[in-house]
Structure 1
Amino acid sequence: MIPMESGGLVVDWTLMPTYNTIMSLAAGAGLLWIVGLGRALRKRDEFAPEGWALAAAVLGAILTITGAHMTLTWPLAAYFPFDNIIFGEPSLGFGVLLLAAAFLLWRRSALIMESPDPGATLARIARPLSVFVFGLGLALFGIAAAGMVFQLFAAPPEEPISGAFAEYPWIEATFMSGLFALVGVGAVLFPFALRGFTSSAKPRGIATVAGVVWGLTGLAFLLFGALNYFTHIGLIINTSA
């Protein structure tokens, strides 16, 4: 980033590709997908595994492709190399998990529907992968801590809306770090939420907490990603030479 004579910034955008607009949308929708799937499993007459598989495949493909490119291209954004870790790696991990879920729901749709308890069946199948989900949760805690300690995520004043808080970097750092931490809470609780999960009863305890935090953060990431389509376009216009 190069300061302008007027005090603003000029950014060479050929050195700063970014996907956290579509990533945020897909990640938010993916979290809401998990919550929705848990609810749908309790309504067998309305549950269509193929539809949930298609949704997971679309979201998983977006997150896997963008996350893999950001993870493997170091640094993808020359100005912010830590974005590879913050946005790329969690997106890659979440994307692959969604693709695995899509494959399972598509290939085993008949088995799931014929099961006397589809929720319990899927919980048993997901249990081995829950270790990785738990690990991702710990990683998200690390990202949240880094965001607060190093005051990351702050937008420059040239960015519309978010840039209004440029003089107070702790505001956006707290907001984004809080989102990452809450998603991490759901991920850490996920292995324990699978225990006793069933289609015949409403989730309670740990499963409810995980569902609430993922539902809230999923909606937040979805809306924030949609907002970023305006703010990031404005930032590019305001900082291009």
Structure 2
Amino acid sequence: MSPVDLAHEQGLKIDWAKMPTYNTVMALAAGAGLLLVVYLGATLLRGRPFVAEGWALAFGVNGLILFLTGLHMTLTWPLAGQGFPFDNIIFGEPSLVFGVLMLAAAFFLWKRGVGILTEDPDGPPRTDRLSYLTRLMAPVSVLIVGIGLGCFGIAAAGWKYTLFAAPPEEPISGHFADHPMLEATFISGLYVLVGLGAVLLPLALRSPRSVLPKVIGVCWTLAGLAFLLFGALNYFTHIGLIVNTQ
């Protein structure tokens, strides 16, 4: 019996001491991270100047949040032990991977970012900036494709098992408890967008002047905005869920 069914029949009660929940801040950081990646990519493709240290700080802050929360959720099995152990895979592992990638990018931007778009003795020649960046990102794109395929798997599981359906006790989202496919489709659709951008990345690196970077940008912008706003909304809905199920 699903958590939603239990909520309908007997009212959902949760021992929150045994089920820590912080995918609110994870959604915020993931959404902000996706938007930052798109913005930086557009900046580099258009040859605009930028303050590398500022981008390093932005990537580092979001990356640290995702790394710490994703690592804890991934290694603590099951973190949500009262009927939601799949959250470890759905939220923990992608956040961990994204967090590590952002921390790596932050370190690179801090150490070498100044030479990307400015004349620097230690950086690549100005005429070879884009080629240098595509070659730089090619090896790590293997992992990005892998987690992108994983996002497709998460989306498929969300649709098949309606994993994202909110119980009636949750404010706003709980009003759609009788239509579990609605929220399942919304969240699964976001994972599809993230996964699509990820699997297209190697092709975009081979043809950076093609339409592919724009397609990736659209996918990650839509997903980033949705995760950011949904995470912010969940600060209210999750607090309400805790109050209503203590």
TM-score (norm 1): 0.92
The answer on 1:134 being equivalent to 2:138 is no
The aligned amino acid for 1:39 is A
Q: 2-side partners of 1:47 and 1:119: how far apart?
A: 15
The Cα of 1:194 is off from its aligned counterpart by 1.3
Local SS of the residue matching 2:115: helix
Which residue of the partner structure matches residue 91 of structure 1? 95
The answer on 1:33 being equivalent to 2:36 is yes
Aligned pair count?
234
1:43-101 CA deviation, whole Å, 9 max, x = no partner?
55531111111100000000000000000000011021110000000000000000010
The answer on 1:23 being equivalent to 2:26 is yes
Task: Spell out the pairing of 1:142-153 with structure 2 (5 A cutoff).
Answer: 142-153=153-164
The answer on 1:213 being equivalent to 2:219 is yes
The answer on 1:171 being equivalent to 2:182 is yes
Q: 2-side partners of 1:119 and 1:33: how far apart?
A: 18
1:179-232 CA deviation, whole Å, 9 max, x = no partner?
1111100000011111233xxxxx531111111100110000000000000000
Equivalent pair of 1:120/1:196 in contact (CA under 8 Å): no
Point out the more displaced range, 52-61 or 42-51: 42-51
TM-score (norm 2): 0.90
Match of 1:183 among 190, 194, 199: 194
Local SS of the residue matching 1:26: helix
Root-mean-square deviation (CA, aligned residues, Å) is 1.8
Local SS of the residue matching 2:94: helix
Q: 1-side partners of 2:18 and 2:223: how far apart?
A: 30
Q: 1-side partners of 2:143 and 2:81: how far apart?
A: 30
The Cα of 1:8 is off from its aligned counterpart by 2.1
The list of structure 1 runs, each at least 4 consecutive aligned residues, that deviate by more than 4 angstroms after superposition, is 42-45
Which residue of the partner structure matches residue 54 of structure 2? 51
Q: 1-side partners of 2:40 and 2:48: how far apart?
A: 14
The Cα of 1:25 is off from its aligned counterpart by 0.3
Gaps of 5+ in 2: none
The aligned amino acid for 1:111 is G
Gaps of 5+ in 1: 198-202
Equivalent pair of 2:51/2:114 in contact (CA under 8 Å): no
Which residue of the partner structure matches residue 154 of structure 1? 165
Equivalent pair of 1:186/1:214 in contact (CA under 8 Å): yes
Equivalent pair of 1:60/1:97 in contact (CA under 8 Å): yes
The Cα of 1:111 is off from its aligned counterpart by 2.6
Q: 1-side partners of 2:169 and 2:133: how far apart?
A: 47
The aligned amino acid for 1:209 is V
Equivalent pair of 2:52/2:109 in contact (CA under 8 Å): yes
The aligned amino acid for 1:227 is L
Of all paired residues, the percent bearing the same amino acid is: 63
